[in-house]
Amino acid sequence: MTTVLLLVSLALGAWMVAVIEEWTTSGRFRLAAPLFAGIALLGRESILARKPDRLFFEVAPVLLLLSAVLAAAVIPLTPNLVVANLATGALFVNAALVYVLVALLMAGWGPDGAYAMVGGWRFLGQLIGYAMLVVMPITAVVMRAESLFTTDIVMSQAEVWNIIYQPLGFVLFFIAAMALAFLPPFDLPIAKGELAGGVEAEYSGVRLAVFRLGRLALIITLAAATVVFYLGGWQGPILPPWAWSALKIFGVTIIMLLSGRMMPRIREAHMLAWFWKLGIPLALLNIFIVGVLVLVLPS
């Protein structure tokens, strides 16, 4: 039952992301557009590249969707609505999301096309930038909760949310999450107008539909993870827990989709330089500050 509820929530979330994304890019707010776009994609021919690595080409979109869904499985939307409350939950989110990279690498290399390949390798470079900035802020969150259970992480924020307790970690995690979901200005592997779609370039029809669905699920999963790690999860006054989760995830998604639109696409070398020379020292500083706070403040 929880699994069905989670999948329905993910589907609703993906639909919401698609609507907001269209609104942020073109200014049109059309609730039925994702449905029509999906039907259109399913109706179109799914072209196979001339000399693909068939295994990678077919597996990549499914793997992208699967890794987003698996990460969502450990994220609690209410105290009881969590598919698998693992003792390694916070680590598991990251373990599942690393396979986004594997999926994009396969999607880039599989179809034997230049644009796709450049996009795939670019995302690998991107990973080298963001990976540490996903893991290290989560470390600080776990330090405060003294547990890897995602439900314990939410409960640890009963009095003060982590966005106030460790604002530095929140900023770093939020930026890294945007890079993980390859949202603008970090949309290097897709790079519309430059790489002709990048890793998406050789996909069409039903395969492209699965790929796009995977990307939407990835965005919503990351927004949910941000809410659980930094915004107190389901907690809030008056409204029921599920409503608070939904509202917060909705808000984070809108900020994620809007904030990048106003910026030019960042160059790979610049991104790596910023993430390594500024991001990682700040993440270490964040761990240090949280360590001191955990020791000094009464729990």
Partner 1 sequence: MTAQMFFIGFFGLAAVWFGIVVFRTFSMVRSALALLFSQTALGAMFLSMQAEFLGVLQIMMMATEMSIMAIFMVMFMMDPGGLGTMEMTHQKRLSLWAGFVSFVGAVLVAIFVDWGPIAATAPDAAQQTVDLGLELLGRSMLIFETAGITILTAMIAATAVAIQPIKRSS
Chain positions contacting partner 1, by CB under 8 A: 53, 56, 86-88, 91-92, 94-95, 98-99, 101-102, 105-106, 109, 112, 114, 117-118, 121, 124-125, 127-128, 131, 147-149
Give the contacts of 32 (CB within 8 A, at least 6 positions apart): none
For 104, what's the count of Cα atoms within 13 Å in the CB-facing half-sphere?
31
Closer to partner 1 at the Cβ: 46 or 94?
A: 94
Query: At closest approach, how far in Å is the CB of 185 from partner 1?
Result: 22
Closer to partner 1 at the Cβ: 105 or 190?
A: 105
Closer to partner 1 at the Cβ: 10 or 145?
A: 145
Residue 132 contacts residue 280 (beta carbons within 8 Å): yes
Among 248, 229, 232, smallest CA distance to 143 is for: 229
Query: At closest approach, how far in Å is the CB of 117 from partner 1?
Result: 5
With vertex at residue 38, the alpha carbon angle to CA 37 and CA 42, rounded to the nearest 5 degrees, is: 115
Query: At closest approach, how far in Å is the CB of 293 from partner 1?
Result: 20
Query: At closest approach, how far in Å is the CB of 192 from partner 1?
Result: 21
Residue 47 to residue 230: CA distance in whole angstroms: 42
- 3-class state of residue 243 by DSSP: helix
Closer to partner 1 at the Cβ: 53 or 58?
A: 53
Among 210, 201, 213, 186, smallest CA distance to 267 is for: 186
Closer to partner 1 at the Cβ: 13 or 108?
A: 108
For residues 273, 164, 144, 244, the Cα torsion angle rounded to the nearest 10 degrees is -110
Residue 223 to residue 213: CA distance in whole angstroms: 15
Closer to partner 1 at the Cβ: 195 or 257?
A: 195
Among 235, 275, 246, 261, smallest CA distance to 137 is for: 275
Closer to partner 1 at the Cβ: 77 or 90?
A: 90
Query: At closest approach, how far in Å is the CB of 224 from partner 1?
Result: 19
Which two three-digit tokens encode residue 44?
């179109």
Query: At closest approach, how far in Å is the CB of 99 from partner 1?
Result: 6
Query: At closest approach, how far in Å is the CB of 209 from partner 1?
Result: 24
